[in-house]
Amino acid sequence: MRQIIFSLYGNCLNSGQRIIWQNGGNKRKTNLILDASIGQDPLLRQRLTFALGAWRSTWLNNLVFAAVLALLLQPVIQPIALAWWILSVLVVNSGRVFIGWKYEKNGQPASRYWYLIYAVSTLTSAIVWSAGSMILFPESSAKHQLYMIIVIGIIAHGASYHHSSSPRLLAAYLLILIPPSAIKILLSSNDQIDMTLKLIGTLILLVLALSAKRMCRTQTETMQLKEALRKMANIDSLTSIANRRAFDELLQKGWHQAKHRLQPYSVILLDIDHFKLYNDYLGHVNGDRALKLVAGAIRDSLERATDQVARYGGEEFAVLLPNTDAKGAKIIAEKIRNKIVGLNLEHKKSPTSNFITLSIGIATREQICSNMHCRQLVEEADSALYYAKSSGRNCSISYPQQFSRSA
Ligand SMILES: Nc1nc2c(ncn2[C@@H]2O[C@H](COP(=O)(O)OP(=O)(O)OP(=O)(O)O)[C@@H](O)[C@H]2O)c(=O)[nH]1
């Protein structure tokens, strides 16, 4: 399982990853607490972010445009029919707001079928608009047909923004909304209707629908670009794990969370033994390859979605273990150490072993005092790592000085 840091817009488009953290911007946007996000599929969360945004704003948009259309059609359509139609728009969209509100209220999905509910309510709204355009179609006035087409086009255009993260939902929405009005206006049998106006109306509809599609694509591209930038800022380009910057942020957040929840928190620092000799003997290209393999092996040793690995420095790595006591951290450290030995990466020049090995320092706070800073824990892990180095390397040491050697 790969781990990612969830960004402001929830815009990770890769599936198969899991959220390990959400930043403040995302929390404000979705109003979801961290617990509701951790371990979730970011693609799903991205849809959720848009869905919640849509729920909030489309209620007003739909009602405003329904009212505008009713006013425009009022000279040619019976007021009672217009009133019924506005009422249906109000009921369907209020239902969507209610679902959204219920979702947000709990800070987590009210139902595991939430996306289905959202999609159904969205398509119901499209049906109401589409039915409205058929029932209220002003057969006798080309001018009013044009008004209707423009408003429907604007609604289609707006929908494309909110559903840009769900192309299939958007396609279904546009299919329900646009063809009925387009067919109706083209097949209209009233002789008085000017053919030029018919064509202009259909053209406007098409242009708005196509621009909606383009907008959807542009937005997806923008999101992908933002995701790429986010990765560049937080991911180490050589090893593809979190970089030092991401580590600092994750440490601070994890620390505050552990303090708040009265949970233990552990930090492990890991350093490749005699890596300079490895580089000097085999060259930097092989050194880079070894760093990648070691990073991957450390990442694969972590089981919980909340455990995080980062490249701390050149040949130094760090592991953050929320809700993990000293005993648990020691087990993980040894698991990683053995895994690296098991990689059998030959290191002929190492005075410690014929293979690449790690020295590991561990520090834990079983309970975090209010005046303690997380940097102190990292310093303790660093002292333990120093101990491990001076105790012969290829071992893990827990601060303060719980020596354990194997191999
Ligand atoms: N190939 C490669 N080497 C790196 C990278 N970053 C740091 N290094 C090398 O890692 C080595 C670190 O050397 P030292 O700090 O002396 O540590 P060491 O040789 O591992 O010795 P001990 O830590 O005492 O076991 C240096 O040779 C750096 O050039 C990198 O991105 N790629």
Which of ligand 1's atoms lies nearest the C-alpha of 272?
Answer: 20
Mean pLDDT of the chain: 80
Percentage of the chain lying above the pLDDT 90 cut: 44
Nearest protein Cα to ligand 1, atom 18: 274
- What is each CA distance from 108 to 190, 293, 323, 341, in whole angstroms? 53, 37, 22, 42
Q: How far is the CA of 328 from the centre of ligand 1 (A)?
A: 29
Task: Locate all alpha helices (DSSP H) within 235-314, ordered by sequence.
Answer: 244-261, 275-282, 284-301
Q: How far is the CA of 52 from the centre of ligand 1 (A)?
A: 48
Per-residue pLDDT of the chain (407 residues; tens, 9 = 90+): 333 333 333 333 333 455 555 555 555 444 444 445 555 555 555 555 555 556 667 788 889 999 999 999 999 888 999 999 999 999 988 887 777 666 654 445 556 666 777 788 889 989 999 998 888 888 777 788 878 888 888 888 777 766 666 778 888 988 898 888 778 777 775 555 567 766 776 777 677 666 666 666 666 666 666 767 777 788 998 999 999 999 999 999 999 999 988 999 999 999 999 999 999 999 999 999 999 999 999 999 998 888 999 999 999 999 999 999 999 999 999 999 999 999 999 999 999 999 999 999 999 999 888 788 999 999 999 999 999 999 999 999 999 856 544 43
Whole-structure pTM value = 0.57
Q: How far is the CA of 364 from the centre of ligand 1 (A)?
A: 26
Nearest protein Cα to ligand 1, atom 8: 314
Which of ligand 1's atoms lies nearest the C-alpha of 287?
Answer: 1
- Does 315 qualify as catalytic in the annotation? yes
CATH of the domain spanning 244-405:
3.30.70.270
Most ligand 1 atoms within 8 A of CB, residue of 238, 276, 382 to mutate: 276
Distance CA 220, CA 207 (A): 20
Q: Indicate the angle between helix axes 374-390 and 244-261, nearest 10 degrees.
A: 110
Which of ligand 1's atoms lies nearest the C-alpha of 393?
Answer: 25
- Residues in contact with 351: Cβ distance below 8 Å, sequence separation at least 6, in sequence order: 274
Q: How far is the CA of 279 from the centre of ligand 1 (A)?
A: 7
Query: For the chain, how long is the longest CA-to-CA vector?
Result: 97
Catalytic one of 221, 249, 315, 334 = 315
3-state SS assignment for residue 19: strand
- What confidence score (pLDDT) does residue 33 get? 46
Instruction: Show the ligand 1 pocket: residues with CB < 6 angstroms.
Output: 238, 271-276, 279, 284, 287-288, 291, 314-315, 389
Q: How far is the CA of 315 from the centre of ligand 1 (A)?
A: 5
Question: Tell me: the pLDDT tens digits for 2-37?
Answer: 333 333 333 333 334 555 555 555 554 444 444 455
Tell me the β-bridge partners of 256: none
Question: Tell me: the pLDDT tens digits for 267-281?
Answer: 999 999 999 999 999
Which of ligand 1's atoms lies nearest the C-alpha of 271?
Answer: 23
Pick from 142, 137, 147, 145: nearest CA to 194? 142
